[in-house]
Amino acid sequence: MCGIAGIYNYPCADRSSEDVVKRMLGIIRHRGPDETGILCGDGFASGSVRLSIIDISSGQQPISDESGNYWVVFNGEIFNYIELRQELIARGVKLHTQSDTEVVVQMYALYGPACLSRFNGQFAICIWDRQKREIFIARDRVGIRPVFYWNEGGRFAFCSEIKGLFTLDKVKRELRPESLAEVFTLWTTVSPNTPFKNIYELPPAHYMKVSDAGIQIQRFWSLEYPEEQDVRPRKLNDAIEEFTALLKDAVRIRLRADVPVAAYLSGGLDSSATTAFIHELEPSVLNTFSIGFSDAEFDETAYQLEAAKYFNTNHTAFSCTSAEIAENFPQTIWHSEFPILRTSPTPMLLLSRRVREQNIKVVVTGEGADEFLGGYNIFKEAKIRRFWAKDPKSKYRPLLLSKLYPYLKMMHGLNNSALKMFFGYKLSETEDPLYSHLLRWHNTSRIRSFFTEDFRNSVASHDPVAEIYPSLPSNFMKWSELSRSQYLEASIFMSNYLLSSQGDRVAMGNSVEGRYPFLDYRVIEFSASLPDNFRLNGLDEKYLLKKAMAGKIPESILKRPKQAYRAPIARSFFGTGAPDYVKDILSSDALNSVGCFDANRVEALVSKMHAGQNISEVDQMAVAGILSTQLLHEKFIRSAMPDESSFLANIRVVNI
């Protein structure tokens, strides 16, 4: 695992290309503290900071193919590199390392961009073609590993994190108002947008070519579901057998490393399933880690400890307090580089810190199961709302919704009228392609009422939801309703929030690599092919996974009600011992200086938080969103980017 960066046709003024790339790498050195490699060529320079996991002794970057024409810097892992390596050797290719990085560049030399379809992994790749003077950059299928870029006046730069781009003197640092409107509606920006003007992400499952002729961007993989009439009937036992074999193999290849591999145990079905397969494949001592909360409303420690005991793991558990969340929230924003509407990423930052303190670099986690096997309550919610819409005057159908969110206090005791008020938004518009998510996005968009009048006017013509429709697959409406819901969740929320702010960014902030068996593209494609009732059977989520794991994980975890991973918000920032920065950054002067939020409205919200009464989920999201946006401005707009290049380790420079 690494961080990568590079420049093309970038005039360096009084600094060399090498120094410019060093500064970019220095500020992301947390992604790879072990080694640094830099490539300098004609009008191009790139580099990586390496977290040594595979072929520690000889896998230093940059690496070239046999001809010396193609040079690669690489962030990620190609889990099937051993099989691809054997294929290369059979074709007469001489390999000089045992690394997956060399396999990447040699495969590109043979197949060009078509090599991407042969990679099973999580990656951001940059390859320099000396002869063509062309850059090739690619990102994995679901966006596990990030890459951002800036392009202006024939000058181009890329980096694993936005902060690296902000070390360049010609890159302006400004928030993009339309992006804030997107975050405060969809929870994230619409790809390729980021929170900053003229800074873009390469979307997942895309590659780009950059040369003097310009930029070309191409998709190489799509998440596809069968049209309803084309869904192949399956026997449940056959599906269980095939799914189990695929998931087990996905776990197996993600255990490939020259360093110890650990696992997260959340106390839920998904992480217990991956741990069960690790235990089966490698029954030696397994290190597992979990995080609980001192606040009982959010704590799942009992289930975590039960799973650890069941698998007899070497388990490390710790409890996170609300004060620790508030204290570490600014660091979370430094790593996430996005406004966030939850504090959930912060405990994950603290968890990865504990992992790294035990000298572990790799953890296996359960992300992806909810998205592709029908685990989220939003899928059930959409199903119930469609059922209710067939008889909108029913007294009983809305009552089904009260069962979905037992962990939300605001849902307790809601009567029929209150349920209709909360869940009735656009109830009858069941033919809208975005139906399953319209209610969530509508509720989230209420936070935009905290924008100043000038800011609201500046984004009045920008409808984030309208931006989604043109990006939908051409046959989207021929998919099942559940498949459409899952596509939206995976392509918008999972990629740009879950795998970013709550995944890669906070783990790599502590030099820890996450690996996700459920996001193996073979598992994804198989799950997408399943009949709906194998994913969501009535209101029983992840039906196939539960059947597959029967007898392999604790019965109490298999049958426990679904509980979303959440962390305290209001109690973190406004309870006893809240840090001083909260008051400072929410002051009228600070708010007016940034210009996004109305100081009077925020003051009223803060008073409500201190009173501790009638605090809604929208209020909670507003607090996190306003604080994180203010912190984002403080760290990336107002403050100068630090020069960390002097801390780079084991620097290797290749001039070509």
Provide block-wise average pLDDT over 10 residues at a time, the chain (656 residues): 92 83 98 96 94 86 95 97 97 94 97 98 98 97 98 95 97 98 98 98 98 96 96 95 98 95 95 97 91 85 93 94 95 98 97 96 96 96 96 89 73 70 91 97 96 97 97 97 98 95 96 98 98 96 98 94 85 87 96 98 95 89 98 97 95 94
Q: Residue type for 525, please? A: E
Closest CA to 161 of 145, 176, 173, 174: 145
Are 2 and 49 in contact by the 8 Å Cβ rule? The answer is yes
3-state secondary structure (DSSP) of residue 157: strand
Answer whether 339's CB lies under 8 Å from 632's CB.
yes
Residue 390, Cβ neighbours under 10 Å: how many? 10
pLDDT at position 412: 61
Q: Using CA atoms, how far apart are residues 426 and 442, in angstroms rounded to an integer?
A: 10
Measured between alpha carbons, how far is 392 from 427 in angstroms, rounded to an integer?
8
Q: In what order do the strands lie in the sheet with 63-64?
A: 63-64, 70-78, 121-129, 134-139, 206-211, 214-219
Identify which of 627, 641, 642, 640 has the alpha carbon closest to the alpha carbon of residue 594.
627
Residue 510 CB contacts under 8 Å (≥ 6 apart), including other chains: 30, 349, 352, 353, 355, 356
Q: Please give the distance of CA 351 from its chain centroid, rounded to a whole number.
A: 16
Token pair 């200086």 is found at 593
Beta carbons of 328 and 340 less than 8 angstroms apart? no
Count of other CB atoms within 10 angstroms of residue 210? 24
User: CA-CA distance, 131 to 631, in Å (whole number)?
Assistant: 44
Q: Where are the beta strands (DSSP E) in 254-357?
A: 261-264, 287-293, 314-320
For residue 612, the SS3 value is coil
Residue 575 has a pLDDT of 75
Q: Cα–chain-centroid distance for residue 270? A: 17
CA atoms within 13 A on the CB side of 67: 12
Domains located in the chain, CATH noted: 228-372+489-559 (3.40.50.620)
Token output for 281:
């494949």
pTM beyond cutoff 0.85 = yes
Q: Are 467 and 521 in contact (CB under 8 A)?
A: no
- The pLDDT of residue 13 is 65
- Rounded Cα distance, 151 and 166, in Å: 13
User: Which pLDDT score, from 0 to 100, does residue 565 have?
Assistant: 84
Calpha distance 298→408 (Å, rounded): 10
- Cβ-based neighbours of 143, under 8 Å, separated by 6 or more: 203, 204, 205, 495, 496, 499, 500
Contacts (Cβ under 8 Å, ≥6 apart) of 547: 236, 240
Cα–Cα distances in Å, from 18 out to 12, 161, 389, 402?
Answer: 10, 18, 62, 59
Helix, strand, coil percentages in the chain from 3-state DSSP, rounded to 5: 45, 15, 35
Q: Give CA–CA dist 516/92, Å, rounded.
A: 33
HSE-CB for 155 with a 13 A CA cutoff? 12
* pLDDT for the residue 407: 64
- CA atoms of 485 and 371, how far apart (whole Å): 9
